[in-house]
Structure formats: C-alpha cells, structure tokens
Amino acid sequence: MPDKPIEGEKRVFMTGNEVVAWAALVAGAEIMYGYPITPQNEIMHYWTRLAPKYGREFLQTEDELSAGFTTVGGVLAGRKAFTATAGPGNTLMQEPMSMAEAMRLPTVVVIQQRGGPSTATVIYSQQEVTMTTLGGNGEGLRIVYSTATHQELFDYTIKAFNTAWKYRFPTFVLGDGYQAKMRESLTIYDPASRGIELVEAEPFLGKPGVPGVDRPPTQLRNTYNVEEELYEVLEGYFKDYEKIAPEVAEYEAFDVEDADLVVVSHGVVSRACKAAVKELREEGIKVGYFRPITLRPLPVDAIRETASKARQFLVVESANGQMARLLKEAAFGCPVEMLSLFKPGVGITAEDVVSRVKEIAG
Amino acid sequence: MSVQPAMPKSWRVDTKPHKFCPGCGHGLVLKALGQAIDELGIQDRAVFGCDIGCSLLAWDFFNVDTIQTHHGRTTPVITGLKRANPNLIGIAYMGDGGGYAIGSQHLVNAASRNERITVILVNNTQYGMTGGQMAPTTLPGQKTETTPYGRDPEKTGYPTQGPEMVAAITREGAYVARGTVANLRQLKNYLKKALENQMAGNGFSFVEVLSTCPTNWRTNAEETWKMVEQELPRYFKVGEIKVPGQKEGEANG
Ligand SMILES: Cc1ncc(C[n+]2csc(CCOP(=O)(O)OP(=O)(O)O)c2C)c(N)n1
Ligand code: SF4
C-alpha cells in the first residue's frame, strides 16, 4: 500500500471538496466520520474513494451528533479523526464540539457554509461564523481558520490537524458552498517536501499497561460537582488559550498604512474585496485591505493597530454582521467608524464593494 | 475488626465508597461488571464510557480508562473509539433515558451496523439524576414527577422493550440479554458473555439490567426489592434473547 498519497508537488484543477479530501489524506488523517449534507458531501465521496488505497477508514453515521461524537471517540483512541458538515449539521455538531472543548480534544471539522437560518439554501453563505466560533454552551475555546481560495483550503486543512494536535483545542476549517463546489487550480503537495512536520497523534485512552497497576487510569469527564472545580479547570484553559492566541492568529493585509478606509472581510468575500481595493487604489482612492484568516482567535493586535490608523472600516460579509460583531469587540475603544456591506447568504462581487466605497467617499 | 466485602480487582479502591444513593442498583451492576472484567482479564484494554445521568457518578469508579460523555451519546463515542482502535474493548454504560430516549437513534443504528461494542443499559424505569421524571421504560400507572397521576399508556405509550427491539434489528453475531440486580450471578454471566462476544469480534452486544432507584421510587428496602423482583419482570422479561450460534427461540436462562 503506498503511504505517500502525493510525491513532491503537483499542479491540479479540482473542486474544494476534493481539495479537502486530499489535504486530510496528506495530513495523516486516519479516519473520517461523516453524515451527508450539501455542500460538503463530496468530501466524503472523495475520501471514501481515496481512503482504502492508503489504509484509512470511514464511517457513515446516523446523524451529525453521532459524526461529531464518533470523531471524539476516534481522537480519544489516538487517531487523527475528522468530520465535515454544514448548516443545520453544524448546529448538531456543536454538542460534540462543546465536549471536545470541555476535554481539550483535537477534533478537526471542516465546515462548508450554506445559507441559513435552518435549512435555507444548500448553496452559500458566511452565516456560520457565530456558530463555528462561539457555538455550543461554553466559551468558544476553539480555533477557526477561514479560507479564501482552494490553495488555502489545502494548506489550512493540513494546518488544522497540526494546530489541533499541538494545542489541543477543537479546530475548524471554515469554507463555504462556493469553495466546496467550484473548481480552481492549486498546488497540492506532500507536507514533508515543504518542510512541514506533521504533529504526531497520541492516545488519550487505552495507553499501554494495566490501569491502576502500571499506571493511573485515565479518567476524563465533562461533569463537575461544584462551581469552583469547574472554574479552576476553565481558568487553566483560558490561560492556555490566551497564551497560544498570538501564535495561532493569522491575517492578511495590504495598503493599510496610509488608508483612510480599510475594507475588512474574510473567506471568499475577501477575493472580491482584494480586487476592489486594487481597483480603487489605481483610481487614487486611499483604501486598504484587511482579512482575518483566523476568526477565532482573532488577530486582535493587528486589528487594533489597523483600527487606530484608519478612519473607517468597511466590513463586507455574506452575513448580517457576524464577523462585524467580533471585530467591534476586538477594536473596542479604537476611534474607527464601522461601516458595512452585508448581503446575508448572497455572494458579493468586486463591483459591489467598489460602488459601496464610492458611495461612502461621496 | 470488620470484614470488608471483597471488591472486584478492577475497582478503584480510593474512590470507594461510591457516590450512588444507598440501595441504588447502579453499584450492583458495576460490581457485576467489575467481576466480569476481572474474570476476563481485560482491565488493560477495556474502555468504560458512561453517560450523563446517575451513570456519570461512575466516571472514576474503575481502574480502567474511562470517558464520561454527553447525555445519550456514549454509544457513538465508544463506537468511534472502537472503530479507531479495534484492540480496545469498548463498554458504553447508560440509563434508560440515555439509551431509549435521547440516544435511541444511536442505539438503533449502532445495533443495525452490528458495531463491535458492548452496551449496558440500566433500566430503573425513570430519570434518576434529574429527579424522577417519566422515562420510556416507566410502567403503566407508575407515578413519576411528570406523570404525577401515573403513566397513562394511551397518552404516553407503553414501556420500551429495549432488548427485544435490539434483538429484532440485529443480525447473527449479536448478543442480547436482560438481566436484573436481583440475580447478580446471572447478570455477571450475561455481562461476561456480552464482553466475550465483542472480544470474539462477533458483533453488537447489549445487556439491559433491571435496577433500583429507591430515592425516586420513594420506596423502603422491602418495597424496592418487591418492585425490582416482582413488578419489573411483569413487563420486562429477564433472560437471554439472542445468542450467537443459537437458533431463534432457543436462547434463555
Ligand atoms: C442534552 C441533555 N438533555 C438533558 C440533560 C439532563 N439530564 C441529565 S441526566 C438525565 C436523565 C438521566 O436518566 P437516565 O438516562 O434514565 O439515567 P439514570 O439517572 O436514571 O441512571 C437528563 C434528562 C442533559 N444533561 N443533557
Ligand atoms: S437517584 Fe436513583 S439511580 Fe440515581 S444514584 Fe440515587 S438511587 Fe441510584
């Protein structure tokens, strides 16, 4: 059985869902648990075709609660396990991921956002930001990468496994229906060929030896008897999260130094924003581009720095301000005016952004 | 000098006495399970998963790796674990609420897929941990906090026949039995067989255990025992229901 799905690197033209399957494969994912929902189905379709060739496993579960909890079980057994979902599936996935949060389990979930609330459309949105970053009962102790291109979908899916297993927080790759279904060119590669070291997985349960004889038993729980007991555990988690946040947080920005107005967006929408900013700059308008790549933790320092230089932020989203809320919190106290272009559940073009900026500029 | 009753080797002594109410059946089921683990010599590779409900009080009960998970989700967690590492012996331990109400789709589907795991479901006819509400297994006429005038089957259905359902939807290779805390030797025997069935890689193993909850039943020792020994078996037939290799209708005991 070949153990290297990709030798060196390869230029390809594929859909985002296919990209995710390849990325999970080269990231060393050993088992996928999944439940069908559009627009992520083809992740499972490709995975089930590729996986047996490389000794990897798949289980189609009865629902997303089960897909999430079996993923948790796979991780507990020490395997790189993952799942993928969207929309109402993401809603159900919050219960298992809240357990992963409680136990600091390195689960990996790929979300291909679709329209909401509820079943809505099967196509596209950026409306799963709040749920993916802060979902479940808890405090949102998780890591969320929002990808913009197929190349990033590949890069960050690999990275998600490494981040998850290194820091032990549930990790999400937040794509969307456009990324899932459209085809574009990218380079897929063997991580080793780029010097990317894969973080090893290790078992939480079922380590060698007889528990209570050779070693203490591993006993994990997510129920606590008294308030103080939980508080103490959470205090530790918050400290850990605060410590790793600056290491994990990522962003992309240009032309922000002298910009009066900075266009802020995430995911595929930032492709339109990037094109718009370039076009507006050519016309001599002082605009900048800023994109958080991690929506949780946010790149707070970079946001605050940008927000203290620019007069205005134009927040552009295919949602009704789900990222804007996160930005406002991050930039609290900075003298920046927050303006918006929100089209919930609908795609945004460069023209939309250009005309909104011109409207603001008057 | 007082003579202590022998504890199973696989029990964690420093967490005893356990946290269940006096007279609770959970402790007895876990004793039978501890003996089964001892006798099979699987302390090193058994993983014990417990649900939310009174079973969560067993999160540090054994010298066995343990995961206490969400209400009704113990079955998929143990399924995921077993799929990821088939060398482990996965034990999912839950109440009737966890198994037959909130987690029923997981039970049904794990059984249909013939997952190589062992599910132990403690039937005390109501929700213990949350204070004695109606469960799928509540007997007709039985008073609970949400059936204060007694369960009316016309409105809320009849008690779930869990093992019978599991037996009906599983294929050859499954082991299904109903034991009772009123017969611990038999219960241990069933639990052992359920674990052996998993070890042999045959298929899904399921044991429901008729158990006591004097706290929510509001019964004294005598009434508690009367309930579990006489009342419960009128609705829930104790015995083996499906045994691999045995012809249908043959299994019993
Ligand atoms: C999702 C969810 N819903 C409800 C609860 C509240 N809850 C905790 S224990 C329990 C009932 C447990 O009853 P059962 O499974 O019969 O076990 P027992 O306590 O009787 O042993 C419920 C409803 C919960 N913890 N999680
Ligand atoms: S409430 Fe009932 S089931 Fe729960 S520990 Fe007490 S007696 Fe046992």
pLDDT at B251 (0 to 100): 55
Ligand 1 centroid–CA B42 distance in Å is 29
* Residue spans per domain, chain B: 25-242
Q: Which among B102, B169, B151 has a CA at the least distance from the CA of B129?
A: B102
Per-residue pLDDT at A202? 97
Please give the span between the terminal C-alpha atoms of chain A, in angstroms, as a whole number. 64
Specify whether the CB–CB gap between B34 and B10 falls below 8 A. yes
Rounded distance, CA B195 to CA B64, Å? 15
d(CA A213, CA A292): 49
Distance, in Å, from the CA atom of A17 to the CA atom of A50, rounded to the nearest integer, reads: 13
Residue A339: phi and psi, rounded to 5, are: -110, 165
Cβ count within 10 A of residue B41: 12
- Can you give the pLDDT at residue B250? 61
> What tokens were used for B50?
């417990």
Cβ within 8 Å of residue A336, ≥6 positions away: A307, A308, A310, A311, A312, A313
Mean per-residue pLDDT over chain A, rounded: 97
Specify the pLDDT at position B247: 66
Amino acid at B128: G
Hey, is the C-beta of A57 within 8 angstroms of any chain B C-beta? yes
Of all protein residues, the one whose alpha carbon is nearest to atom 8 of ligand 1 is B53
Q: Any idea what the Cα angle at residue A177 is, between residues A176 and A183, rounded to 5°?
A: 105
CA distance A201 to chain B (A): 12
DSSP B128: T
Mean pLDDT of the region A34-60: 97
Confidence of residue A362 (pLDDT cuts 50, 70, 90): confident
d(CA B185, CA B180): 10
Q: Please say if the pLDDT value at position A278 is more than 90.
A: yes
Q: Could you report the per-residue pLDDT of A325-355, keeping only the tens digit for each?
A: 999 999 999 999 999 999 999 999 999 999 9
**CB within 8 Å: B83 and A74:** yes
Tokens 């996935």 appear where? Answer: A93
Q: Which CATH architecture has domain A9-194?
A: 3-Layer(aba) Sandwich (3.40)
Task: Note the maximum CA span of chain B.
Answer: 56
Among the CATH numbers 3.40.50.970, 3.30.990.10, 3.30.9.10, 3.40.190.10, which is that of B25-242?
3.40.50.970
Residue of B21, B24, B54 to mutate, ligand 1, most atoms within 8 A of C-beta: B54
pLDDT at A126: 98
For the segment A74-91, the average pLDDT, to the nearest whole number, is 98
> Where residue A22 falls among pLDDT bands split at 50, 70, 90?
very high
Examine the pLDDT at A200 and tell me if it is beyond 80: yes
Which residues of A fall within a CB distance of 8 Å from B65? 205-207, 211, 217-219
Provide the CA A197 distance to its chain's centre, in angstroms: 20
The closest of B46, B9, B26 to B196, measured between CA atoms, is B46
**A212 vs B contacts (CB less than 8 Å):** 10, 12, 43, 63-64
CATH no., domain A251-361: 3.40.50.920
| Model pLDDT for residues A303-321, shown as the tens digit of each residue | 999 999 999 999 999 999 9
Average pLDDT, stretch A285-292? 98
A294 in contact with B at a CB cutoff of 8 Å? no
Question: Which residues, listed in sequence order, are joined to residue B169 by a DSSP beta bridge?
Answer: none
Q: What's the rounded mean pLDDT across residues A264-283?
A: 98
**Residues contacting A259, CB < 8 A, separation 6+:** A286, A287, A288, A309, A310
For residues B207 and B190, is the Cβ–Cβ distance under 8 A?
yes
Regarding the beta carbon of B26 and ligand 2, being less than 6 Å apart is answered yes
Alpha helix ranges (H) inside B133-205: 153-156, 162-169, 184-199
Minimal CA–CA distance to A111: which of A260, A267, A274?
A267
Q: Where in chain A is the domain with CATH 3.40.50.920?
A: 251-361
pLDDT by residue for chain B (253 residues), tens only, comes to 567 778 999 999 999 999 999 999 999 999 999 999 999 999 999 999 999 999 999 999 999 999 999 999 999 999 999 999 999 999 999 999 999 999 999 999 999 999 999 999 999 999 999 999 999 999 999 999 999 999 999 999 999 999 999 999 999 999 999 999 999 999 999 999 999 999 999 999 999 999 999 999 999 999 999 999 999 999 999 999 999 988 655 655 5
Is the ipTM reported for this complex over the cut 0.90?
Answer: yes
**Residues of B engaging A, defined by a Cβ cutoff of 8 Å:** 10, 12, 43-45, 47, 52, 56, 59-60, 62-70, 73, 76-85, 87-88, 105-106, 108-109
- Would you call A53 helix, strand, or coil by DSSP? helix
